[in-house]
């Protein structure tokens, strides 16, 4: 059913009895042209674009739990594209372009809200780094502008720009097109649209093995619901990328860490934009529901536990309270963790693998939500055509061999 | 905050320690191939299950040591000094499963 | 004037004392011991809040921290305003100002209530289906409207002036919950001599005993028994008792997070006391005695003010001396509500009817009837009426088909409900313990634990006071034993009480109406109804996690404490599955909300992170220095004279160094003493440079790469003795370089006899640079021949300086002749204070980091972190000369040879001169071959450093540029918003290319 | 030549509290060295130094005349003596230690305070994560650990007396932190 005002009103009169399932719940077929492992935003978007843009509709998305239950359902939803290196700029801006009318394309309100992402600078070195980003972005055509402390305050009134704080705000880089989107809606919107195009979404089905034929090429996946044949397989398993890739004997340059986030009790609007501070480690925005959504840090050790230490939250809230001292009495309502797969250069891998027919989309670490539409779009292209889209051409596995890293971390760029 | 048993100082809180990444990754010589150096620098087992890793009691005795930890429960299974051989993780895992069942 | 619903006697409030407070500006009175909820109820006020989505009038549902409805804002002043507090937890004090939330213009007339009329449209997830047209309206119209309508309270306007403390603690036995089970557990643990911490979130210990006035334990009343135990716990110096303290999180390795509220309940908080304290407790063993929570019933109109949990009403009566109405009805699926009805009736409240959904009722039917209460068995509530408070209920007989037939409408001013009891397993579950579903009691109970803990009492599904006490005691004993203490065997208690049986009902009650049209609320705060849940399932949100997220059930500030089980049961029924196979959503910290302040603790301003100052800081401050933050250090950035701009000051400082002499505080540089017979070999393996042959008394500029071959740090290294090096690192790199060194020493080359000691803070370091440097230091130096012949460039000597032991380096980071003197840090200020007048007298100046940057840039010296960013090799930075080509190996040697690191076209360090000679480029600006690059065109480089150079009289810049060394002389462009700036590529050394000035 | 004045980091910050409940006072200037080397070298040195360099972890030994050797790690000891002992200690090491080892003067790197009183444990536990109960942290125990955001060396000299050292630039933070934590016990 097409979502519209009309359908809402009609259904209101019909006791909302007529709403169909948003996606089908089929039994797995014996085989598919493409099997996507992982029903997060990236996997579902990949399936959607395979069907919508490449005419490949015999596709299954296989999810071990419930779709969106991985990092897609756990992230602080920050969307921006003001990365440093041209490769990253191209990739993330590709996604930002798609965000602009994603709700309309999917006929699902993903609540992309371009309320602006303001990244604060606290030291002379920060200022230099911010400006380098701004100049690089401007040349590339990405909006990113410098705000003085007073302009930062005007843009985000609860911000403390007093000189007396430990690391006073010296200014900030603002990407106005940046903002947030509703994480769950992105997952469900892609699932609904993909399912509508014939993609099978198979939940509660864990991939336990990857089968290759005599030539070494992909032939099937083993799952908790049986063997499913596949001509091509795309791994889009985020925190579990290493685990799944190991099933095909592919060893990845990844480590998985717990990353925490938290929300406050709901408040009337107070934080109008997204505030990020790399130097003192704080990320905050306010959801449309009113809770403050705050990103904490990763724990220091590899873990698949989806929890984390309290001291990580403490460090985050120290920074939040320092930046917005009016929030000290506000209370935390819920905290949680996700498992992020991080690469040595903090840039993703979207590429073929040495195994014919096996493709990998991973390594988004702490910051892949924003890329969901672009990642799915480019990855679908890569799978469909056996060659990368220009937006992801540089994000190969090979770069770790040659040393051609896309090192956003080294360049003092930030996560999220 | 984990509780970690330093082989020198005993049980101490995690904030005194730094995790130093996977253990037993041998530094190759200058004649290493491209793959070997890439393996050494970047590729990690990242196992969901038991891993051997390095810790440093940086705000304590300052020593590096190795540990085997389960990456789902975050429980330490074995702690040993740098230079001691890598435990057989498969055997350890099997013995743990035994414990869990009994 | 006594409040109309206050009983004549009884309860634990201090009746003799009266407190005035206000609610929405209306003055009211209560007594010490009242919560805001009990005081409001005593005044006949049920309407306390508005719900989230439909703005429905809401009253007080519970008497504890699980309250979903009665959220208020408490204001002391503009900074001390706290939103979203539960009226059921707020203790009143004289002058307390409470106000309701999420309503406009007033609580009883709220314009937002219009939403209620559109409820059929505002079904679950409606916002995902609309607000998409026209596209631009989302940001400009819809989202702002939604945001304004959402949210509950408002954050304070002013910064919070209160203080927050934190504390780490350890104990043998940690007891969470101080009801009968917890008190007995603490008693047992105390008797074993264990160190015990017992906490309860309530204002006093006692838990359910405070409500149950009928209980008798070992011949005493429950109140007396509890008081005796509390006193003996309090007298033991091994027991810490914390009231108003919520155990909010159960973390790895038995660490429990506690949030202690210290002053919120006080009229005048003592100045020295923190408002709240975070405890991080590491317990050897934990006893979870967290009790059980009563569940509401799900039926149409179950959310009106006046509808309240039965046990809460009993608590208000017995503990606070408050009658929750004059004529109340009771609807129940369990026995405990009978006791509430009996207690209320005895206190003079008319019980309009008691309906029990169970056809047979329970153990207390006769007792209730004897008390004169009309009991209707096998009956259900079909509906309620009343706008701002319930005025009647319609009851129906439950038929064999599971539907109800309405048979009577009964007037009432309150409706007590009880669906049964849910053990509080939140912390247990957070500890990663597995839950098991107990079919008999229809509850989830602790199963296989994951940590050293044990559950007892109602939290463990044990009901019946005697069993609870005995189980509690046994748990405390077992915990103490597990913690290594000797115990003396089980103690048993004899107790009587009217106890709850665990069973009850789950899910929606039978009704006579069309369930798809009525609104029977499940999650009160988020306005989630039974039919919303069914809609979600219909739309394919069939996992309980999807249902939660689509409907937002259980996602409100109460985290579904009273609603999750009902939602789960409704889902299970609809899906035709049993409850355990549908499963619970994840219990997460915090159990109840915790303030940001408590987690941030004392970290604010100077306590946010240490402010590191050098020994001479005060002197620089006195000279008017402006400081910059570098890592945690404050470094003197420049020294403006009165009226000088930064630019003027820096020019003057640079010129002083070039022409006479400058004094610079370099103390923040990291320093490491590398000692041992293998010290030289160690250095040789770590640095790209050769070190074996460095002579004693000489120094060398060294580059560190990691094994990946990228520049990691740099610094000058002096050989103090054959087996001793004085290593310097960058300011920011001090800690990571030492860690890097220790790593290789301990794990890679443990056979080397070499030891490392940080000396960063041992030495205060001052650079004296400029043609007159030797004249300046000469009077202070003893025991060192500082003549050019005896002490050449890049040498180090030991001696004394101003009479104190010193290490004197002849070296230069400015390109001028100069020295760096290291003295023990406590003498740093004295040495600065001695040098500064001499420098001034010679016509020189103190210079800061900015001038230092200009000086080194004029010489083309790099700064790690500015010219390099982790992607730059030594060769890129023009430092190929510092790579020991003949060395067999060093850290980074192989990494540096990787394909991309030796590929043509890499960015290399160059100088840039603007064609106009005056424009100072912006650092970070990009470089292109053409003046007007197309969108998305490729930058061939970027500016790393840029200054106005007073020395060469023009602007200068350093840059990393593709193939830069081959481009000297080329004209390129730096595109800026208002036009490109033309530049010419040059050698990075702008001044004294031959290095003659180093010789003085 | 004018004699240079020594300004210790804690000295100017002053004492806090009062004897009994809680007192924090700056330590006098001390001679401090980090000795690193084998256990055998440590053994030899201990004999000459007067205070044994413990090979048992976490143990400090002190002499009546103010010398102390604190175990910091299996090859690392902090040697402390009165300021006037500085040269003497250097001499002792030079004369006794034959094995390769490292002695580095850190008299000015570290700075110290003495904390005492019945409330000393909760004050320290505001930022120190260790169990400071005397059963877990007995008299004579020394260790590196943390106090909130700073690394410290903590040595229990008596039941309710701790010697605390930190890097000199961290002194204002430690002082401020302790003052804040002690406030409620002094109010
Ligand atoms: C706390 C937190 C905050 C974050 N904040 C931001 C932010 O502000 N902005 C931003 O851009 N990014 C952020 N991120 C990162 C972002 O969430 C992720 O990069 C992104 O969501 C990844 O999406 P995905 O679809 O690749 O992975 P996921 O959503 O994790 O999907 C992977 C799926 O694979 C499934 N799977 C795994 N193994 C198997 C198997 N064997 N068989 C079948 N299925 C399997 C998983 O169950 C999972 O559902 C944050 C992450 C976290 C944890
Ligand atoms: N009305 C009834 O008949 C009824 C209903 C349920 C239980 N009971 C009876 O109550 C008794 C149960 O005793 P009990 O000791 O198990 O429970 P309890 O309810 O008496 O005590 C639990 C205590 O734990 C506290 N608590 C819960 N979570 C906490 C947290 N995270 N942090 C701090 N404090 C927390 C609560 O404030 C409460 O005071 C039994 O006698 C049982 O039969 C009676
Ligand atoms: C952007 C965002 C907003 C959230 N808002 C809420 C919220 O308002 N209430 C709530 O209980 N949980 C909220 N959550 C957290 C989820 O309840 C849940 O904790 C998270 O999806 C992780 O799943 P888990 O806790 O079930 O493991 C939010 C999560 C995200 C990512
Ligand atoms: Zn240790």
Determine whether the shortest distance from the Cβ of A38 to ligand 1 is under 6 A: yes
Contact A311 B1 (CB under 8 A): yes
| Ligand 1: centre distance to CA B46 (Å) | 17
* Close Cβ partners of C136 (under 8 Å, ≥ 6 residues apart): none
Interface test with D, best of B3, B9, B81 (most D CBs within 10 A): B9
Residue C116: pLDDT over 80:
yes
Q: How far is CA B52 from the centre of its chain?
A: 3
CA-based nearest residue to C455, from C428, C431, C482, C491: C428
The backbone region for C453, taken as left when phi is positive above 0, alpha when psi lies in -120 to 50, beta otherwise, is: beta
Torsion, CA C539, CA C540, CA C541, CA C542, rounded to 10: 130
Mean predicted confidence (pLDDT) in D19-39: 96
Ligand nearest to the CA of D72: 4
Res A412: pLDDT: 57
Distance CA C948, CA B69 (A): 55
Q: Give the model's pLDDT for residue A413.
A: 38
The token pair at A211 is 């089968």
The predicted pLDDT at position A180 comes to 98
Interface residue B45 vs chain A (CB under 8 A): yes
Digit-coded pLDDT (tens) for B24-79: 999 999 999 999 999 999 999 999 999 999 999 999 999 999 999 999 999 999 99
Residue labelled with tokens 């939602």: C567
Cα(C458) to centroid of ligand 2, in Å?
6
First to last CA, chain B: 29
Query: What whole-number distance in Å separates Cα of residue C38 and Cα of residue C316?
Result: 6
Residue C489 — very low, low, confident or very high, per pLDDT cuts 50/70/90? confident
B13 contact D CB<8A = yes
Residues of the domain holding B48: 3-25+33-101
Mean pLDDT throughout C253-273? 97
Given an 8 Å threshold on Cβ–Cβ distance, is C170 in contact with D131? yes
Chain D residues closer than 8 Å to C761 by CB:
108-110, 167-169
Q: Domain spanning D30-106 has what CATH number?
A: 3.30.70.1520
Of residues C150, C156, C928, nearest to A329 (C-beta): C156
**Ligand 1 centroid from CA A74, angstroms:** 8
Residues A235 and A361 sit within 8 Å (Cβ to Cβ): yes
CB of C202 sitting under 6 A from ligand 2: yes
Residues in chain D with CB shorter than 8 Å from the CB of C759 are 104, 106, 109
**Ordered DSSP codes for A34-73:** EEEE--SHHHHHHHHHHHHHH----EEEE-SSSTT-SGGG
Record the tokens describing residue A189, joined without a space. Answer: 């919107």
For ligand 2, say whether the CB of C311 is within 6 Å of any of its atoms: yes
> Is 80 exceeded by the pLDDT of residue D179?
yes
Q: For residue B60, give the chain D residue with the closest CA.
A: D144
Any atom of ligand 3 within 6 Å of the Cβ of A291:
yes
> What integer pLDDT is reported at residue A411 of this predicted model?
63
Q: Is the pLDDT of residue D9 over 60?
A: yes
Distance C182 CA to ligand 2 centre (A): 9
CA distance A316 to chain B (A): 15
Nearest CA in chain D to C674: D102
Sole residue written with tokens 């004997």: A249
Looking at the structure of chain B, the number of domains it has is: 1
CATH fold label, A117-178+256-342: D-Amino Acid Oxidase; Chain A, domain 2 (3.30.9)
Residue to mutate (ligand 1; options A36, A358, A369; most atoms within 8 A of CB)? A369
Q: Which of these, A308, A369, A338, lies nearest to A77 by C-alpha position?
A: A369
Q: Where are the domains of chain D?
A: 14-28+108-187, 30-106
Any CB–CB contact under 8 A between C547 and chain A?
no
Q: What is the CA radius of gyration of chain A?
A: 21
Q: What is the pLDDT of residues C538-582, one digit of tens each?
A: 999 999 999 999 999 999 999 999 999 999 999 999 999 999 999
Under a CB-based contact definition with an 8 Å cutoff, are residues C354 and C338 in contact? yes
Beta carbons within 8 Å of D11's beta carbon, 6+ residues apart: D26
> CA-CA distance, A397 to A404, in Å (whole number)?
10
Indicate the burial class of C204 (C-beta count within 10 angstroms; 0-12, 13-18, 19 or more): middle
Tokens of C186: 């603490």
Question: How many CB atoms are located within 10 Å of the residue C903 CB?
Answer: 11
pLDDT in tens, C435-451: 999 999 999 999 999 99
pLDDT band at D184 (very low <50, low <70, confident <90, very high): very high
Residue C699 pLDDT exceeds 70 = yes
CATH number, residue B10: 3.30.2270.10
Mean pLDDT of C305-316: 98
Per-residue tokens: B77: 């299974």
> Chains that contact D by 3+ CB pairs under 8 Å?
B, C
Determine the Cα–Cα distance for residues C314 and C324; give it in Å rounded to an integer.
Answer: 9
Q: Which of A128, A268, A401 sits opposite C866 (nearest CB)?
A: A128
Label residue C469 left, alpha or beta by phi (over 0 means left) and psi (-120 to 50 means alpha): alpha
Q: Read off the tokens for C184.
A: 């007995």
Q: If you take atom 38 of ligand 2, which residue's CA is the nearest one?
A: C207
Q: Does B54 touch chain C (CB under 8 A)?
A: yes
**Topology, domain A26-81+83-108+183-253+345-411:** FAD/NAD(P)-binding domain (3.50.50)
pLDDT in tens, chain A (416 residues): 899 989 999 999 999 999 999 999 999 999 999 999 999 999 999 999 999 999 999 999 999 999 999 999 999 999 999 999 999 999 999 999 999 999 999 999 999 999 999 999 999 999 999 999 999 999 999 999 999 999 999 999 999 999 999 999 999 999 999 999 999 999 999 999 999 999 999 999 999 999 999 999 999 999 999 999 999 999 999 999 999 999 999 999 999 999 999 999 999 999 999 999 998 888 999 999 999 999 999 999 999 999 999 999 999 999 999 999 999 999 999 999 999 999 999 999 999 999 999 999 999 999 999 999 999 999 999 999 999 999 999 999 999 999 999 998 876 534 44
* pLDDT(D1) > 80: no
Does CATH number 3.30.1360.120 belong to domain D14-28+108-187? yes
Same CATH topology for D14-28+108-187 and D30-106? no
Average pLDDT of the residues of chain C = 96
Q: How confident is the model at residue C117 (pLDDT cuts 50, 70, 90)?
A: confident
Q: Which residue of B lies nearest to C751 if distances are taken between CA atoms? A: B83
- Considering chain C, what percentage of its residues have pLDDT values greater than 70? 100
User: Which residue in A has a C-alpha nearest to residue C145's C-alpha?
Assistant: A288
Give the domains, in start order, of chain C with CATH numbers: 19-149 (3.10.20.440), 164-292+423-496 (3.50.50.60), 296-419 (3.50.50.60), 515-575 (1.10.10), 665-856 (3.30.1360.120), 904-999 (2.40.30.110)
Output the DSSP codes for chain B.
--EEEETTTEEEEGGG-EEEEES--PPP-TT--HHHHHHHHT-----SSEEEEEEE-TTTT--EEEEEEETTT--EEEEEETTSPPP-HHHHHHHHHHHHH-
Contact A400 B1 (CB under 8 A): no
Judged by its nearest atom, the ligand closest to the C-alpha of residue A348 is: 1
Nearest atom in ligand 1 to the alpha carbon of residue A77 is: 8
Size of interface B-D (CB pairs under 8 A): 40
Task: Assess B61–D contact: CB distance below 8 Å, yes or no.
Answer: yes
State yes or no: pLDDT of B102 exceeds 50: no
Q: Count of CB atoms within 10 A of residue C434's CB?
A: 11
**Ligand 3 lined by A260 (C-beta under 6 Å):** no
CA–centroid distance, A181 to ligand 1, in Å, is: 15
- Test D1 with C827 for CB contact under 8 angstroms: no
Pocket test for ligand 2, best of C212, C256, C458 (most atoms within 8 A of CB): C458
pLDDT band (50, 70, 90) for residue C150: confident
Kindly give the distance from the C-alpha atom of residue C749 to the centroid of ligand 2, in angstroms, as a whole number. 59
DSSP labels for D86-99? HHHHHHHHHHH--S
- What distance in Å separates the CA atoms of residue C841 and residue A46, rounded to the nearest whole number? 73
Work out the average pLDDT over C828-836. 98
Mutate to test the interface with A, among C154, C160, C589, C599 (most CBs of A within 10 A): C599
**ipTM reported for the complex, 2 dp:** 0.97
> Which residues fall within 8 angstroms of residue C482, CB to CB, at 6 or more apart?
C284, C285, C452
Flag whether pLDDT at B5 surpasses 70.
yes
The residue whose C-alpha atom lies closest to atom 12 belonging to ligand 2 is C458
Query: How far apart are the C-alpha atoms of C277 and C197, rounded to whole Å?
Result: 15
Are the C-beta atoms of residues C393 and C384 closer than 8 Å to each other?
yes
A21 touches chain C (CB under 8 A): yes
Quickly count: other Cβ atoms within 10 Å of residue C847's Cβ.
Answer: 31
- Protein residue with its CA nearest to atom 20 in ligand 3: A74
Same fold, A26-81+83-108+183-253+345-411 and A117-178+256-342: no
Q: Which candidate, C273, C223, C265, places its Cα nearest to that of C244?
A: C265
Query: C touches which chains (3+ CB pairs under 8 A)?
Result: A, B, D
CB of B81 within 8 Å of a chain D CB? The answer is no
Nearest to C500 by CA among C716, C353, C339, C271: C339
CA angle, D144 then D146 then D149, to 5°: 145
pLDDT of D2 reads 58
* Structure tokens given for C172: 């043998």
**Contact criterion met (CB < 8 Å) for C826 and D29:** yes
C697: left (phi over 0), alpha (psi -120 to 50) or beta: left
**Closest ligand 2 atom, CA of C426?**
31
Ligand 2 atom 23, closest CA: C177
Of B8, B15, B61, the CB nearest to D146: B15
For residue C943, give the nearest of C963, C965, C928, C933 by alpha carbon: C928
Residue with tokens 């001169």: C913
């Amino acid at each position: 059913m097409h979502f519209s005002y009309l359908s809402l009103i009609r259904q209101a009169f019909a006791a909302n009895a007529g709403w169909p399932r948003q996606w089908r719940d089929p039994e797995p077929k014996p085989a598919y042209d493409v099997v996507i492992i992982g029903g997060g935003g990236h996997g579902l978007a990949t399936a959607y674009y395979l069907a919508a843009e490449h005419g490949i509709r015999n596709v299954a998305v296989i999810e071990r739990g419930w779709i969106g239950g991985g990092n897609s359902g756990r992230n602080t939803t920050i969307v921006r594209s003001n990365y440093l290196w041209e490769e990253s700029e191209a990739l993330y801006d590709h996604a930002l372009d798609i965000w602009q009318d994603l709700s309309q394309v999917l006929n699902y309100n993903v609540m992309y809200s371009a309320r602006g992402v303001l990244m604060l600078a606290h030291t002379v070195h920060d200022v230099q780094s911010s400006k380098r980003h701004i100049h690089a972005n401007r040349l590339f055509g990405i909006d990113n502008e410098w705000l003085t402390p007073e302009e930062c305050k005007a843009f985000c009134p609860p911000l403390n720009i007093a000189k007396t704080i430990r690391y006073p705000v010296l200014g900030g880089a603002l990407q106005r097109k940046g903002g947030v989107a509703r994480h769950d809606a992105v997952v469900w919107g892609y699932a609904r649209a993909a399912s509508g195009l014939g993609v099978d979404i198979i939940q509660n089905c864990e991939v336990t093995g990857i089968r290759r034929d005599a030539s070494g090429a992909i032939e099937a996946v083993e799952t908790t619901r049986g063997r499913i044949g596949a001509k091509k397989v795309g791994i889009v398993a985020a925190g579990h990328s290493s685990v799944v890739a190991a099933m095909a004997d592919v060893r990845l340059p990844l480590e998985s860490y717990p990353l925490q986030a938290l929300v406050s009790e709901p408040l009337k609007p107070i934080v109008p934009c997204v505030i990020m501070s790399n130097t003192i480690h704080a990320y905050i925005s306010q959801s449309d529901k009113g809770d403050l959504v705050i990103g904490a840090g990763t724990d220091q050790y590899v873990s698949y536990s989806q929890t984390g230490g309290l001291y990580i939250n403490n460090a985050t809230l120290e920074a939040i309270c320092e930046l917005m001292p009016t929030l000290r009495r506000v209370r935390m309502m819920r905290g949680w963790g996700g498992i992020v797969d991080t690469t040595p250069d903090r840039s993703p891998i979207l590429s073929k693998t040495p195994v014919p027919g096996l493709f990998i989309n991973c390594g988004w670490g702490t910051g892949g939500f924003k890329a969901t539409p672009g990642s799915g779009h480019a990855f679908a292209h890569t799978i469909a055509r056996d060659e990368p889209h220009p937006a992801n051409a540089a994000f190969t596995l090979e770069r770790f061999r040659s040393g051609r890293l896309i090192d956003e971390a080294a360049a003092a760029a930030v996560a999220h | 905050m984990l509780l970690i048993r330093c082989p020198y100082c005993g049980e101490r809180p995690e904030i005194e320690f730094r995790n130093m990444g996977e253990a037993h990754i041998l530094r190759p010589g200058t004649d290493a191939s491209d793959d070997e150096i890439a393996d050494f620098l970047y590729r990690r087992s990242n196992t969901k299950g038991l891993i051997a890793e390095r810790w440093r009691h940086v705000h304590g005795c300052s020593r590096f040591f190795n540990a085997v930890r389960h990456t789902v429960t975050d429980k330490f299974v074995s702690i040993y000094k740098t230079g001691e051989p890598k435990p057989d993780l498969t055997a350890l895992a099997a013995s743990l499963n035994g414990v869990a069942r009994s | 004037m006594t409040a109309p619903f206050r009983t004549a006697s009884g309860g634990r409030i201090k009746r003799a004392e009266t407190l005035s407070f206000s609610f929405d500006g209306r003055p009211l009175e209560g007594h010490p011991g009242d919560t805001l909820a009990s005081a409001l109820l005593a005044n006949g006020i049920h309407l306390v809040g508005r719900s989230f989505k439909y703005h429905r009038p809401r009253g007080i549902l519970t008497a504890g921290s699980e309250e979903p409805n009665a959220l208020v804002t408490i204001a002391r002043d503009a900074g001390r305003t706290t939103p979203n507090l539960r009226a059921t937890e707020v203790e009143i004090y004289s002058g307390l100002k409470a106000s309701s939330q999420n309503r406009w213009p007033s609580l009883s007339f709220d314009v937002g209530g219009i939403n209620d009329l559109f409820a059929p449209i505002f079904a679950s997830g409606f916002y995902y289906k609309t607000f998409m047209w026209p596209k631009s309206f989302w940001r400009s119209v819809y989202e702002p409207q939604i945001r304004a309508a959402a949210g509950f309270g408002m954050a304070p306007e002013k910064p919070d002036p209160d203080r927050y403390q934190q504390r780490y603690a350890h104990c043998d036995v940690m007891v969470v919950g101080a009801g009968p089970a917890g008190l007995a557990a603490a008693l047992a643990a105390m008797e074993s001599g264990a160190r015990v911490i017992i906490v309860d979130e309530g204002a006093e210990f006692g838990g359910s005993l405070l409500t149950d006035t009928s209980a008798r334990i070992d011949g005493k009343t429950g109140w007396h028994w509890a008081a005796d135990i509390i006193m003996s716990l309090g007298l033991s110096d091994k027991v810490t008792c914390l009231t108003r303290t919520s155990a909010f999180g159960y973390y790895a390795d038995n660490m429990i997070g506690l949030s202690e509220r210290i002053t919120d309940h006080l009229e005048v908080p003592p100045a020295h006391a923190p408002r709240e304290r975070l405890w991080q407790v590491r317990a050897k063993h934990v006893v979870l005695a967290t009790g059980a929570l009563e569940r509401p019933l799900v039926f149409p109109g179950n959310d009106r003010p006046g509808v309240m949990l039965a046990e809460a009403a009993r608590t208000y009566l017995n503990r606070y001396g408050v009658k929750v109405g004059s004529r109340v009805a009771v609807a129940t699926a369990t026995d405990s509500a009978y006791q509430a009805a009996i207690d209320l009736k005895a206190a003079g409240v008319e019980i309009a009817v008691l309906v029990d959904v169970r056809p047979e009722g329970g153990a207390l039917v006769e007792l209730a009837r004897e008390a004169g209460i009309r009991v209707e068995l096998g009956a259900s509530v079909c509906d309620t009426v009343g706008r701002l408070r319930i005025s009647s209920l319609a009851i129906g007989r439950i038929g064999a088909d599971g539907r109800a037939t309405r048979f009577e409408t009964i007037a009432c001013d309150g409706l007590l409900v009880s669906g049964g009891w849910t053990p509080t397993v939140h912390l247990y579950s957070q500890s990663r313990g597995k839950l098991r579903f107990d079919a008999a009691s229809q509850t989830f109970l602790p199963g296989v634990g994951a940590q050293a803990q044990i559950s007892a009492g109602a939290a463990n599904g044990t009901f019946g006071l005697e069993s609870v006490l005995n189980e509690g005691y046994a748990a405390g004993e077992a915990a103490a034993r597990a913690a290594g203490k000797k115990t003396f065997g089980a103690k048993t208690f004899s107790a009587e009480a009217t106890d709850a049986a665990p069973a009850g009902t789950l899910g929606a009650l039978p009704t006579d109406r069309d369930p798809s049209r009525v609104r029977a609320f499940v999650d009160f705060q988020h306005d989630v109804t039974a039919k919303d849940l069914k809609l979600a399932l219909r739309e394919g949100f069939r996992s309980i996690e999807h249902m939660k997220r689509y409907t937002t059930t259980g996602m409100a500030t109460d985290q579904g404490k009273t609603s999750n089980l009902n939602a789960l049961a409704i889902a299970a029924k609809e899906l035709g599955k049993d409850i355990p196979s549908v499963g619970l959503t994840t219990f997460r910290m915090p159990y109840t909300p915790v303030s940001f302040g408590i987690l941030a603790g004392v970290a604010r301003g100077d306590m946010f992170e240490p402010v590191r100052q050098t020994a001479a800081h005060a002197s620089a401050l006195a000279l008017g220095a402006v400081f910059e933050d570098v890592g945690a250090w404050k470094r003197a950035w420049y020294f403006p004279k009165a009226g000088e701009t930064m630019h003027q000051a820096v020019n003057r400082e640079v010129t002083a160094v070039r022409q006479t002499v400058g004094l610079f505080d370099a103390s923040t540089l990291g320093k490491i003493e590398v000692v041992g017979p293998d010290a030289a070999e160690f250095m040789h393996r770590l640095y790209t440079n050769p070190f074996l042959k460095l002579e004693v008394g000489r120094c060398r500029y060294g580059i560190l790469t990691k094994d990946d071959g990228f520049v990691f740090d740099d610094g000058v290294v002096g050989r103090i003795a054959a087996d001793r090096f004085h290593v310097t690192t960058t300011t920011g790199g001090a800690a990571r370089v030492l860690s890097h060194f220790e790593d290789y020493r301990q794990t890679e080359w443990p056979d080397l006899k070499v030891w490392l000691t940080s000396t960063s803070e041992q030495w205060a370091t001052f650079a004296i640079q400029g043609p007159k440097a030797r004249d300046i230091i000469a009077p202070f130096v003893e025991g060192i021949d500082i003549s050019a012949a005896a002490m050449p460039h890049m040498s180090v000597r030991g001696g004394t300086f101003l009479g104190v032991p010193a290490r004197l380096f002849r070296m230069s980071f400015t390109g001028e002749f100069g020295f760096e003197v290291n003295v023990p840090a406590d003498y740093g200020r004295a040495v600065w204070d001695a040098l500064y007048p001499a420098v001034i007298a010679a016509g020189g100046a103190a210079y800061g980091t900015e001038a230092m940057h200009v000086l080194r840039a004029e010489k083309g010296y790099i700064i790690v972190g500015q010219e390099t960013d982790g992607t730059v090799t030594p060769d890129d930075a023009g430092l190929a000369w510092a790579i020991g080509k003949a060395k067999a190996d060093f850290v980074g040697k192989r990494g540096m040879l990787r394909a991309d690191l030796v590929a043509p076209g890499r960015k290399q360090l160059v100088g840039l001169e603007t064609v106009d000679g005056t424009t100072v480029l912006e650092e970070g600006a990009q470089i292109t071959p053409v003046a007007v690059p197309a969108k998305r065109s490729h930058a061939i480089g970027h500016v790393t450093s840029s200054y106005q150079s007073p020395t060469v009289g023009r602007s200068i810049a350093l840059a990393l540029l593709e193939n830069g060394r081959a481009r000297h002389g080329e004209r390129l462009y730096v595109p800026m918003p208002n036009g490109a700036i033309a530049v010419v590529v040059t050698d990075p050394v702008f001044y004294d290319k031959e290095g003659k000035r180093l010789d003085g | 030549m004018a004699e240079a004045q020594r300004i210790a980091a804690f000295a100017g910050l002053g004492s806090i509290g009062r004897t009994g409940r809680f007192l924090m006072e700056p330590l006098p200037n001390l001679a401090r060295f980090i000795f690193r080397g084998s256990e055998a070298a440590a053994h030899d040195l201990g004999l000459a130094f007067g205070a044994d360099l413990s090979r048992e972890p976490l143990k400090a030994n002190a002499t009546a005349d103010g010398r102390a050797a604190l175990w910091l790690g299996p090859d690392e000891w902090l040697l402390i003596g009165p300021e006037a002992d500085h040269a003497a200690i250097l001499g002792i090491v030079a004369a006794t230690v034959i094995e390769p080892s490292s002695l580095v003067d850190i008299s000015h790197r570290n700075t110290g305070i003495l904390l005492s009183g019945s409330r000393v444990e909760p004050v320290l536990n505001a930022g120190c994560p260790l169990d400071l109960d005397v059963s877990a942290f007995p008299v004579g125990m020394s260790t590196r650990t943390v106090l909130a955001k700073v690394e410290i060396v903590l040595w229990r000299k008596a039941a309710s007396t701790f010697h605390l050292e930190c890097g000199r630039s961290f002194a204002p933070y430690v002082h401020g932190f302790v003052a804040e934590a002690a406030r409620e016990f002094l109010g």
